[in-house]
């Protein structure tokens, strides 16, 4: 009788264990094989031991989901007072034959995917999801939501939660082994295209990374940059020179376009001392009257520049914005919207009156 009860309970536990197998267990432990590899009459393990094993496997699955799909690193430093670089070393994509990693950008070397860096998200709709570490951090989720809201406010881009039917989406991750911010460039047409944001990344860093995912490169790598800035290669830390090469040198197979937007103080621009080996400037600004914005603002992560807005709207074929004075609602909405009334009819001010160009003198 005891043996009958024991075997019956084992069968029940075995069935529960098979049903308990995590769907996305990346290391694919063959639980079914484990359960059937021993004859029932020789089972010496107790039911409690089997349940403990199941709990342990689930713990491994949870760790795998948190640490699993690693990414690049973008934060040069999220703190504005110590802008060393927008990126920290990251632990994956080290196979230089497969990926080109430039600072916080991850780009496939596969020539058949070269055009993906320019690919816009279909219909301007970006499905998104959160990895476990981000989903469990309300403060970080709120920051990411604010970043997406600001991009939606100045363009026709729409972010929405991903569904099971989506064949592609971005996944906001917080990989503790990648202490920075990073992203692939452009729509990759894949599930869980990673956007890495550590807790050190600010809202401005998040906007910067999302713009990479939307298909934009760094401002200072523009092919016309020598008309506006001087790159001091002698001050760059060894091994980081690639971060300052022009788009044509870095991505010869990709067509980069600036949509006739003047060089500007983009949120995608490096700061003056990024990747400096000695504290001296790696970038100096030239007094070119054709440049837009304030050269002293390069490296800022405080606002989306007018140039950023125009490029985003042009790339995604957004309708033209009428040059009208901002409405009361536009003046008051948003956590960072200034109450200062703009003195210009620049369309950007309709969305972000807090921009320097929109404030009263």
Instruction: Give the dihedral of Cα atoms 89, 93, 99, 100; nearest 10 deg.
Output: 0
Q: Which of 34-38, 69-73, 179-183, 340-344 has the highest mean pLDDT?
A: 179-183
Name the H helices within 20-46.
Answer: 31-36
Residue 127 phi/psi, 5° resolution? -70, 145
Q: For a pLDDT cut of 90, what percent of the chain falls above it?
A: 48
43-68 pLDDT, tens digit per residue, is 444 556 666 766 666 665 554 444 43
Q: Are the C-beta atoms of 326 and 350 separated by less than 8 Å?
A: yes
Q: 260 or 55: whose pLDDT is higher?
A: 260
In whole angstroms, how far apart are CA 242 and each of 83, 279, 344? 19, 19, 39
Q: How far apart are the first and last CA of the chain?
A: 92
Write the burial class of residue 145 (CB in 10 Å: 0-12 exposed, 13-18 middle, 19+ buried). middle
CA Rg, the chain, in Å?
25
Q: 152 or 67: whose pLDDT is higher?
A: 152
Q: Tell me the pLDDT of the chain averaged across its residues.
A: 73
For strands 99-102 and 170-173, give the pairing.
unpaired
Q: What per-residue confidence (pLDDT) applies to 141? A: 98
Q: What per-residue confidence (pLDDT) applies to 358? A: 57
Q: Per the annotation, does 218 bind a ligand?
A: yes
173-217 pLDDT, tens digit per residue, is 998 887 789 999 999 999 999 999 999 999 999 999 999 999 999
User: Taking 50 as the threshold, does the pLDDT of residue 277 lie above it?
Assistant: yes
Q: What per-residue confidence (pLDDT) applies to 119? A: 87
Q: Residue 280's pLDDT band (boundaries 50, 70, 90)?
A: very high
Least confident of 17-31, 246-260, 262-276, 280-294: 17-31
Q: 335 an active-site residue?
A: no
Helix (H) or strand (E) holding 30: none
Q: What per-residue confidence (pLDDT) applies to 327? A: 37
Q: Which domains does the chain have, with CATH numbers?
A: 2-67 (no CATH), 99-213 (3.40.390.10), 321-361 (no CATH)
Q: Per the annotation, does 212 bind a ligand?
A: yes
Q: Are the C-beta atoms of 179 and 73 separated by less than 8 Å?
A: yes
Q: What per-residue confidence (pLDDT) applies to 43? A: 46
Helix (H) or strand (E) holding 147: helix 138-153
75-123 pLDDT, tens digit per residue, is 343 323 233 345 543 333 333 444 456 666 666 655 444 445 568 999 9
Q: Which pair of tokens denotes residue 303?
A: 């606002």
The whole-model pTM stands at 0.66
Q: What per-residue confidence (pLDDT) applies to 36? A: 41
Q: What per-residue confidence (pLDDT) applies to 80? A: 31
Q: Per the annotation, does 269 bind a ligand?
A: no
Q: What per-residue confidence (pLDDT) applies to 295? A: 87
- Residue from 150, 171, 209, 219 carrying the catalytic annotation: 209
Q: What is the mean pLDDT of residues 257-283?
A: 95
For Cα atoms 83, 88, 94, give the angle at the middle one, nearest 5 degrees: 150
Q: What is the mean pLDDT of residues 22-33?
A: 40
Residue 171 and residue 131: Cα distance in Å, rounded?
6
């Amino acid at each position: 009788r005891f043996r009958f009860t024991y075997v019956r309970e084992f069968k029940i536990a075995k069935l529960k264990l098979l049903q308990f197998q995590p769907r996305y267990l990346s290391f694919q432990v063959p639980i079914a094989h484990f359960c059937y590899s021993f004859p029932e009459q020789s089972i010496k393990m107790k039911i409690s031991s089997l349940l403990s094993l199941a709990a342990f496997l689930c713990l491994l699955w949870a760790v795998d989901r948190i640490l699993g799909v690693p990414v690049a690193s973008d934060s040069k430093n999220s703190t504005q007072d110590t802008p060393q670089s927008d990126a920290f070393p990251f632990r994956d994509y080290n196979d230089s034959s497969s990926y080109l990693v430039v600072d916080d950008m991850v780009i496939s070397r596969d020539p058949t995917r070269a055009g993906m860096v320019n690919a816009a998200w279909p219909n301007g709709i970006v499905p998104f999801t959160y990895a476990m570490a981000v989903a469990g951090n309300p403060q970080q989720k709120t920051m990411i939501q604010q970043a997406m809201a600001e991009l939606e406010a100045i363009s026709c881009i729409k972010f929405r939660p991903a569904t099971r039917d989506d064949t592609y989406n971005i996944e906001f991750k917080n990989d503790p082994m990648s202490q920075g911010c990073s992203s692939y460039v452009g729509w990759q047409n894949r599930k869980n295209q990673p956007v890495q944001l550590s807790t050190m990344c600010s809202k401005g860093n998040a906007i910067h990374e999302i713009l990479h995912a939307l298909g934009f490169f760094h401002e200072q790598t523009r092919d016309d940059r020598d008309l506006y800035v001087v790159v001091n290669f002698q001050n760059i830390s060894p091994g980081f020179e690639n971060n300052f090469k022009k788009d044509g040198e870095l991505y010869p197979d990709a067509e980069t376009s600036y949509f006739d937007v003047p060089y500007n103080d983009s949120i995608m621009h490096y700061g003056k001392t990024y990747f400096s080996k000695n504290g001296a400037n790696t970038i100096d600004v030239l007094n070119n009257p054709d440049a837009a914005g304030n050269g002293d603002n390069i490296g800022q992560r405080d606002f989306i520049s007018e140039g950023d807005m125009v490029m985003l709207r042009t790339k995604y074929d957004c309708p033209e914005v009428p040059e009208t004075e901002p409405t009361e609602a536009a003046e008051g909405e948003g956590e960072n919207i200034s109450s200062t009334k703009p003195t210009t009819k620049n369309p950007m001010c309709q969305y972000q009156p807090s921009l320097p160009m929109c404030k009263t003198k």
